[in-house]
Amino acid sequence: MPRFSAWLRDGVGFDILLVGAALLFLVALAGAPLVYNVLMSFQQVDMFTLGSLIRPFVGFDNYVAVVRQPEFWLVTRNTLIFVFGSMSGQFVLGFALALFFAQNFPGASTIRGLFLVSWVMPGLVVGGIWSLILAGDYGVLNVILRSLGIIQSNIFWKSDPSFSIWAVIIANIWLGLAFNMLLLSVGLAAIPKDLYEAAELDGANAFQRFWTITLPMMRPTIGAVLSLGLIGTLQQFDLFPALTEGGPANTSNVAGFWSWQLSFQLYDFAKGATVSVMMFLLVLFASVIYVRSTRHEVRG
Amino acid sequence: MTRTYTPWFLLAIALGLAAIYLFPLYWMYITSIKSGSEIFANPPTFWPTNPNPAVFADVWARRAMPTYLWNSVVIAGGVTALTVVLGTGCAYVLARYRNGWIDAGLFCILMLQVLPASVMITPIFVGFNQVGLLNYPRTAVILAAAAKAMPFFVVLVRATFMSVPRELEEAALVDGNSRIGAFFSIVLPLARNGILVCAILTFMSAFGEYIYSKSIIQSPALQPASVGLSGFLGPNSTDWNAIMAYSAIYVTPILAAFVILQRRIVAGLTSGALK
C-alpha cells in the first residue's frame, strides 16, 4: 500500500490519475454516446422502446429511409452551401482584417480584441439580433443596401426560399469572423520580420511578399483555421431556431438542425441518430486535417 | 514623412471597421428602447425619437428573467467547475510528455472537441433517460455541456502549461518535493492566470448554452435564459423591443466582463495558439 501511494504521489500514477479522471468522464459522456449513436442508427427506436438498450436491429433500414426522405438532398445541398459559404466568408474577411490589424498603429490590438465580442455572445442572441436586422420589410440591412444602390427592392432574407440559407450564413459569418481573425493574427505575428525586410531589399513588392512569405509561412495556421471553421460551422445550431427554424420548406435546413428536429420534434430518434452519424463522418474528415495541421504546429 | 500620419489614418479606419462590425450590438440596444411603431418605421431611425427604457423593467418581470438568469448561472457555474477540476490535470499531463500515448490521448480529445452538439444530443438524451438522469435535468445539462466544453479547455490550458518552464518543476523535485507537491505549489500558481482566463471563457460559452437545455429541461422553472429567449423568438417574431431588451439584459454582463478582461482573454487565446 505505501508503494501504491508513493506511485500515486511521485510516479506515473499521478499522471495516470489526472488524465484518467478527465478521459473517463469524456468517454462516459462523449465517447459512449457516440458509439450509442451508431448503434441506434441500426436499431428500431420509438417511444415505446426508448427506455431499453436492446432493440430490434433493422440493418441499414434507417439509412435507406433517411435518404428516401423527400428533403434529404435539399438538406445535404444546404449543408454544403452553409459550410462553404460560412467558411469562405469567415476566412477571407478574417484574413483581410488580420492583415490590416497586423499594421503597426496605436490601439491595433485593443480594437482587434473588441471584435471578439461577437464570439463570446450566446448564439441564440446573435440569431435574434440578425433576425431583426434581416427582416424583409423593416430590416435595417435592406435599407442600407438600398441606399447604397446595391439592391433595388427589399430582399426577404428569412422567408424567400432562395435567400433563407444566406440569412443564416450572414449571421454565422458575423459570429465566427473574429475568431478566425484572431487565429490568423497569431500566425502572422509568428512570421519573423527580417524575412520581409530581406525580401523588400531584394525588391519584392507587397503582393510578392504576401505570396512568397506570408502564405507559405502561414500554411499550418491556415490549415488549422480552415478545419476549425469547418468544425465550428457544422456545430452551429443556435442560429437556426432563432432565425428561420430551417424554413421555409426546409430551404435553410442543415444536417445538424434536421437531426435535432427528427429526434425532438418528430420523436423519430432512430432517424435523428442516423442523420447525425452521417454528419459525423463529415466531421471526422475535418478533424483529421485539423489534428494533422496542429501536429505540424506543435512539432514543427 | 508618411510615417507620422499613417498610423492615425489606420487608426481611423480601424475604428470605422469596428463600428461597422459592432453595429448589430448597437442595433440591439437601440431597438430595445424604441417604441413599437418606430421599430417598423420606414426609413428606420438610427437614434430613437422617443426612447423609452420602461420595457426593461417590464421584460424583467413579465418574462421571469430572474429565474432564467439564475438557472443560466447555475448551469454555467457547474459546467465551469467540472471542466476546470477535471480538465486542468489532464491538460498538465498532456503538456508534460511527448510520446505515442500522449498523441493518442490528444487525438481523442481533439476528436471529442469536434463533435457537434446535435450529433451528441440524441444519444445523450436517450442514455440519460435510461439511467434516470432526466429527473435531475439541470445536472444532466451540466454533465453534457461540460463534456462539450472540456476538450477546448484542455487544448487551451495545455498551451498555458507548455509555457511553464520544466526546469522550475524539476528543481522542485530535486529539492525533495513530491510530484503532487510540485504540481500544486509550483506549476499551478504559475499557470493560474491562463487557467483563470480559460475558465472565464468556459463560463461565458456555457452561459449561452442552448441545445442541451432546450432538449433536456422541460420545466420552465429550471430553464436557462437562452431557452427563455427562444420562447418568443422565431421566424415570425414581431415583439422586437421586448426581445432586444431581453437580449440586452442577457448579454450585457458577458459583454462587460469581456471588455474588462479583453486584454487577458485575447492574450490567453493568442499565446495558447502560438506555443
Q: What is the pLDDT of residues A174-197, one digit of tens each?
A: 999 999 999 899 888 888 888 888
* pLDDT per residue as tens digits for the range A18-38: 888 888 999 888 888 888 889
Question: What number is the ipTM of this complex?
Answer: 0.89
Q: In this structure, what CATH number is given to the domain that contains residue A201? A: 1.10.3720.10
* pLDDT at residue B17 in the model: 94
Q: Which of A110, A116, A158 comes nearest B235 by C-beta?
A: A158
Which of helix, strand or coil describes residue A281?
helix
Please indicate whether residue A63 or residue B101 has the higher confidence score (pLDDT): A63
In a domain, A89, yes or no: yes
Contacts of B151 in chain A (CB under 8 A): 26
B153 and B197 in contact (C-beta within 8 Å)?
A: no
Contacts of B207 in chain A (CB under 8 A): 122
Region B225-253 average pLDDT: 87
The whole-model pTM stands at 0.89
Taking an 8 Å cut-off on Cβ atoms, the answer to whether A52 and B144 are in contact is: no
Q: Spell out the SS3 assignment of chain B.
A: CHHHHHHHHHHHHHHHHHHHHCHHHHHHHHHHCCCHHHHCCCCCCCCCCCCCCHHHHHHHHHCCHHHHHHHHHHHHHHHHHHHHHHHHHHHHHHHHCCCHHHHHHHHHHHHHHCCCHHHHHHHHHHHHHHHCHHHCHHHHHHHHHHHHHHHHHHHHHHHHHHCCCHHHHHHHHHCCCCHHHHHHHHHHHHHHHHHHHHHHHHHHHHHCCCHHHHHHCCCHHHCCHHHHHHCCCCCCCCCHHHHHHHHHHHHHHHHHHHHHHHHHHHHHHHHHHHC
Please indicate whether residue A1 or residue B68 has the higher confidence score (pLDDT): B68
Q: Domain total for chain A?
A: 1
Calpha distance B132→B273 (Å, rounded)? 40
pLDDT of residue B1 exceeding 70: no
Calpha distance A133→A140 (Å, rounded)? 5
Q: Which of B17, B93, B119 comes nearest A37 by C-beta?
A: B119
| Domain boundaries, position A280 | 60-299
In a domain, A26, yes or no: no
Residue of B nearest to A124 (CA): B226
Contacts of B116 in chain A (CB under 8 A): 234-235, 237, 256, 276, 279-280, 283
Shortest Cα distance, chain B CAs vs residue A241, angstroms: 6
Taking an 8 Å cut-off on Cβ atoms, the answer to whether A15 and B96 are in contact is: yes
In a domain, A239, yes or no: yes
Region B160-164 average pLDDT: 84
CA atoms within 13 A of residue B12's CA, in its CB half-sphere: 4
If one counts every other C-beta atom within 10 angstroms of the C-beta of residue A63, the result is 17
Q: Which of B18, B27, B208 comes nearest A133 by C-beta?
A: B27
Q: Which three cell numbers stand for residue B14?
A: 480601424
* Residue-level length of chain A: 300
Fold of B70-236: MetI-like fold (1.10.3720)
Nearest to A89 by CA among A159, A172, A33, A168: A172
Shortest Cα distance, chain B CAs vs residue A273, angstroms: 6
Q: Where are the domains of chain B?
A: 70-236
Contacts of A143 in chain B (CB under 8 A): 42-44
Q: Which of B6, B27, B122 comes nearest A276 by C-beta?
A: B122
Taking an 8 Å cut-off on Cβ atoms, the answer to whether A125 and B183 are in contact is: no
